Structure 1
């Protein structure tokens, strides 16, 4: 199965994923951003874009890579990846469904003020304009489809460990999803 951690850049998906992985037996983290980085390495052979998710091969490669990892290792993949474009999410989720891979889709959410504070105070990336630029698209996606699509965990007042615990508890409580 897959535990997909969605949410805007800077909300804490990568940190939470590492902690979730420790709480779910036989799980491993697969960061689909690495697939995008591989595609960027072959650029300029691809059309110019500000986001590798706009390249159709990224979406199908994420599905195929996740499937092959699960075929090889079994268990659970914890995938921290922002997907804000609904048709892209549909393509990915339908692709995973075509391989009978169940997905628990979570959105790690925080209010805009908390997100701004976290992004500005990030000791690793610093105040990232890239992350700040995604606050509005995230808010739009959350209001229009994402908030209703996934299990929302409001992290505004949670530590990363508490957010990870909520994800792991929800996965255990919900069991294996039968449909995306």
Structure 2
């Protein structure tokens, strides 16, 4: 099984994933961003883009990597990864379904002011124009398709530990 934690930057996906993992037996975290980083390291480079998800190989490589890891380890993968393009989400979902891999899709949501504050106040990554650019894309995806495709966990007033417990409880039930 895959527990996919979606949502935009500042929602708490990475932090929450690390807290969900010990709450779900036989689980491990797989950050699909690492697949994108691998593609970014190819030299000479792939065509320029502002987001590695736009490279057609990224999506099937995420599916294939998740499948291979699950074939090897079994259990559950907790995957913190923003996917805001519906076509990309459908492609990944269809690929996982083709391999019989069930997905529990959660969206970590927070209001725009909270997200902006978290991004601007990030003491690890610092304020990031790249991350701020995705706030509007997230709002549009949430309004048009994303929230209908997932279990929404509003993190506006939750700690990451509280969000993790809610997700783990939902998965176990």
Task: With the length of structure 2 as denominator, give the TM-score of the two structures.
Answer: 0.98
Q: Which residue is equivalent to 1:146?
A: 146
Question: Number of paired residues?
Answer: 173
Q: Which residue is equivalent to 2:65?
A: 65
State the secondary structure of the residue aligned to 1:126. Answer: coil
Task: With the length of structure 1 as denominator, give the TM-score of the two structures.
Answer: 0.95
Residues in 2 aligned to 1:33 and 1:98: alpha-carbon distance in whole angstroms: 22
C-alpha displacement at 1:146, in angstroms? 0.1
Q: Which residue is equivalent to 2:16?
A: 16
Residues in 1 aligned to 2:2 and 2:92: alpha-carbon distance in whole angstroms: 12
Residues in 2 aligned to 1:41 and 1:166: alpha-carbon distance in whole angstroms: 36
Q: Which residue is equivalent to 2:5?
A: 5
Matches within 5 A, 1:1-180: 1-173=1-173
Structure 1: stretches of 5+ with no match in the other structure? 174-180
Stretch deviating more after TM superposition (113-122 or 12-21): 113-122
Residues in 2 aligned to 1:155 and 1:70: alpha-carbon distance in whole angstroms: 29
State the secondary structure of the residue aligned to 1:134. Answer: helix
Spell out structure 1 runs of 4+ moving beyond 6 A: none
Residue deviations 1:4-42 (CA, integer Å, cap 9, x gap)? 000001211000000000100000000000000000000
Residue deviations 1:44-97 (CA, integer Å, cap 9, x gap)? 431111000000100000000000000000000000000000000000000000
Structure 2: stretches of 5+ with no match in the other structure? none
Residues in 1 aligned to 2:45 and 2:18: alpha-carbon distance in whole angstroms: 33
C-alpha displacement at 1:43, in angstroms? 4.2
State the secondary structure of the residue aligned to 1:21. Answer: helix
**RMSD value over aligned CA atoms?**
0.7
Residues in 2 aligned to 1:66 and 1:150: alpha-carbon distance in whole angstroms: 19
